[in-house]
Structure 1
Amino acid sequence: MKHISILVPYDAVPAAIVDPRYMFTTINHFLAEMGKEPVFDVQLVGLAQQVQLVNNAFAVNTDKLCSDIEKTDIVIIPALAGDIKISLERNKELVPWIIKQYENGAEITSLCIGAFLLAETGLLNGKECSTHWLFANVFREMFPEVILTDGSIITEGDRLNSSGGAASYWNMLLRIIERYAGREMAIRASKFFAIEIDRKSQSPFIMFNGQKKHEDEPIKKAQEFIEENLAEKISIEDLATRFAIGRRHFIRRFKKATNNTPAEYIQRVKIEAAKKHLENTRKNINEVMYDVGYTDVKTFRTVFKKITGLSPIDYKHRYNRDGAVN
C-alpha cells in the first residue's frame, strides 16, 4: 500500500486538497468492489491540526502533523493562492520536511502553482517543471535555475512531478493512479470523473501576454511596435535598425527581457491575435491569416498548431459558438 501525504499549506486552494483525497479514496472503493485490497493510504498533513483557508472561509482538519510523519511514499503539494511570495514565507517550515521526505525516497508531486513551493526546496534546480501558464514569467524570475516547460500538462522525472494550470492536476492524479493501481483503474477513474485521459498540453488554454515587467525601454517599445503592426511582415533586422541596436545585441536583450526571441515573440503575438479572431468573429481561416500578417496557409497552420496544439479550424470549432454550428 502506498502512503500518500497530501499537504495542507497555508493559502492552499481547497479544491486541490479535497480533489486528490476524493480521487485516491475512490480508487480504494473501486478496488473493494472488486474484492481487492486498497492501494492508497491517504492522509492530510500540515503544520497545524486545523488550517484556515480562503480568508477563513474554509477550515481543513489535518490527519497528522508533518512532525508526526517520519516517512511517506508520495507527497502531494496543492496549488497556492494569493501573493505567492507571502505564501512561500508562511509555508517555509514545510520546505525542510519536503526535502527530508524526498531524501527518504518519497515521490514529490506539485499541482498547478504548488510548483512554487516545490521549487523553493531547490530540488528542481537543473530539472524540468510544469506550472500554470499564467504564472510562467513570475516562476522564471523567481527560480531561474529550474527549466520551466511551456504548455506541458505533466512533467515527470527523478521522483519530482508537476502539473500545469488549474484542472490539469486531474491528469497528474490519473498518472499516479496508473503508476500504482494500473491502467485499468486510471481509465475507470477518468470515466468516473469525466476527465480526458492522457491529455498532454495546456497550450490551447494559454493566453499570451507579452512580458513587459522589465526596465529595458527600447525593448518595450519594440514589443509595442510588434503588437501594433500585426498585419505587417516584421523582420529582426528592421526592429534592430528602428531602435538603433545591433542585431545580435538586440536579440540578446529581447530574450533577456521577455523570455522569448524576437521571432518567437512575433509569432506568439500574431497567433494570439488570430485566436481572438477565431473565437469572436465569423471570419474564415484565410481572412484571419491575412489579418495577422501571414500569406502562406501551410506556414500559418504549422505555427498555429505548434503554439496552440490545435489546427486553426479545430480551434475555431472548439471556441467559437457560431463556428461550431457552421
Structure 2
Amino acid sequence: MSKRPVIALLAAPETSASVLYGLYDVLFSVGAVYPDMVAGTPGEELLDVRIVSEDGNGFHCLGNVPVEPHAAIDEMSGPDAMPDAVIVCDLYTSIHATPSGRYPHATAWLRQAHANGALVCSVCSGALLLADAGLLDGREATAHWAYRDMFGRHYPKVRFRSDSVLCLTTEADRLVTAGGVSAWHDLAVYLIARFCGYRHAIETAKVFLISGHSDGQSPYAVMTRPMDTTDAAISDCQAWIANSYDQPNPVEAMVSRSGLNARTFSRRFRAATGYAPIDYVQALRIEEAKQALETDSLPIEEVSVAVGYEDAASFRRIFKRRVGLTPAAYRRKFQRLSQIAGPTGGSRPAIADAPRAGSAST
C-alpha cells in the first residue's frame, strides 16, 4: 500500500475544541466508517491525521478542553517529515488585538512547509497566522467576517473576502482558507476530495450530514463598527444616525450637523469609520431590516419603508447586493432557525422599539 497522505492539524490554547476535534474525527474516518455503516465491514483509513503544536506538549484549548498533540512542529520538519497538508485551526483573537508576532515559531514552520510543497490551509481566525507568515500577501483569503477590519489594519496586502466560506482562488498556490468556525465542514470535504477522491468526499459527507454553506458568509455578517471617539464631530453624527437612519437625506443632515463642508465631512467620516457616509447609512438600514426579517411577519414593503427606503425595489436591490440573498430568501433562512430554536417566551419588539444596529454596543 502507498503511503497515506499526512494532514497536520496545528492547534494552540486559543483553538476551539469543536474545530480541532471535528476536523480530526471527520478526516480520520475517511475510508473506514462509511463501509462499516452500510455493509458492516470497516474499511481502511485513508488519511494519516495528526494534531501538532509548537512544542508538542499537552495543553488545554478553549473551554478548558485537554489536547494531547501527536507531535511538535519541529518533528514534522524537513523534506522527509513534512505533512502533505497543514490546517491551522482557529486561534481566537479579539477584533481589537494586535495579531502580529504571536506565534513566530509556527509562522516560520508554515513558510517552510509551504516551500516544501505542502498544501497550507486555515479555518476562521487561523488565517491570521498565514497572513503573519506572509503567505497571503497579494492574494485573496477569507476568515470570519468579524476579522475584515483587522486584516485591513494589520495585513493590507491581503485581499480579504468577507463573503467567502471557502476561498479557492489561491488553490493553485497551495493555499486554501475557510471562513467562520463551522466552515471547517467545507474545508474537510474539499480536502477529502483532493486527497482521496470525490466518492469518498460524498460518502463522508453522508456519514456526518455535512451539506456546506452554499450561501457564503454574507447572510451571517453583522455590522460591528464601534463608535468612534477621536473625532467629536463624527462621533456626534454616528450617535445621531444610529437613531435617525430612516430619515430622508440622512447624509446631508449629518453634513449640516457636523458644521463641515461635504468633502471634508466625507474624508473625516471615512477615516473614522472606514465607510463612505452613504455606505454607513445603508449598512445601518440593512442591519435593522435583517433584524425585522428574522422574526417579524411584516410585508417586505413595510420593512423597506420602516428602515428608510420608500422604493421597495431599491431596498431589495441594495439588500441583495449587501447580504447576498433577497429579503424574502433571508427571511426564509433565518426564520427556519427560529423555528428550530423554538419559542423563547416572548415576542420580538417592533422595529421602532428594537435595539439600533448602529449603537455603540455593536
TM-score after normalising by structure 1? 0.88
The residue aligned with 1:12 is 15
Contact 2:32–2:43 (CA<8 Å) still a contact in 1? no
The CA distance in 1 between the partners of 2:22 and 2:195, in whole Å, is: 18
Instruction: Summarize the alignment of residues 116-135 of structure 1 with structure 2, pairs less than 5 Å apart.
Output: 116-135=128-147
Structure 1 alignment gaps of length 5 or more = none
| Corresponding letter in the other structure for 2:76 | I
The CA distance in 2 between the partners of 1:286 and 1:111, in whole Å, is: 38
The CA distance in 2 between the partners of 1:2 and 1:180, in whole Å, is: 7
Distance 1:283 1:324, change over 3 A: farther
User: What displacement does 1:236 show?
Assistant: 4.1
SS at 1:293 equivalent: coil
1:43 aligns with 2:58: no
Contact 1:13–1:53 (CA<8 Å) still a contact in 2? no
User: What displacement does 1:310 show?
Assistant: 1.9
SS at 2:156 equivalent: coil
| Corresponding letter in the other structure for 1:189 | T
* Residues 36-81 of structure 1, C-alpha deviations (whole Å, 9 max, x = no match): 8654221111223333124782221111221111222211000113
* Residues 205-235 of structure 1, C-alpha deviations (whole Å, 9 max, x = no match): 1122334356233333333333221222335
How many percent of aligned residue pairs carry the same amino acid?
A: 27
| Corresponding letter in the other structure for 2:85 | I
The residue aligned with 1:52 is 59
The residue aligned with 2:87 is 76
1:300 aligns with 2:315: yes
The residue aligned with 1:167 is 182
Tell me whether 123-132 or 56-65 shows the greater mean CA deviation: 56-65
Q: 1:63 aligns with which of 50, 64, 70?
A: 70
The residue aligned with 2:356 is none
Contact 1:108–1:159 (CA<8 Å) still a contact in 2? yes
Contact 1:3–1:41 (CA<8 Å) still a contact in 2? yes
Distance 1:217 1:163, change over 3 A: farther
Instruction: Summarize the alignment of residues 1-326 of structure 1 with structure 2, pairs less than 5 Å apart.
Output: 1-29=4-32, 38-54=45-61, 57-70=64-77, 71-81=82-92, 85=97, 91-156=103-168, 157=170, 158-197=173-212, 199-213=214-228, 215-234=230-249, 236-320=251-335
The CA distance in 2 between the partners of 1:86 and 1:50, in whole Å, is: 26
The CA distance in 1 between the partners of 2:150 and 2:157, in whole Å, is: 13
Contact 1:6–1:77 (CA<8 Å) still a contact in 2? yes
| Corresponding letter in the other structure for 1:45 | V
SS at 2:177 equivalent: strand
Distance 1:151 1:212, change over 3 A: farther
Distance 1:86 1:286, change over 3 A: closer
SS at 1:186 equivalent: helix
Q: What CA RMSD, in Å, does the superposition of the two structures yield over aligned residues?
A: 2.9
Distance 1:35 1:281, change over 3 A: closer
SS at 1:283 equivalent: coil
User: What displacement does 1:183 show?
Assistant: 2.5
Distance 1:200 1:291, change over 3 A: closer
TM-score after normalising by structure 2? 0.80
Structure 2 alignment gaps of length 5 or more = 341-362
User: What displacement does 1:31 show?
Assistant: 7.7
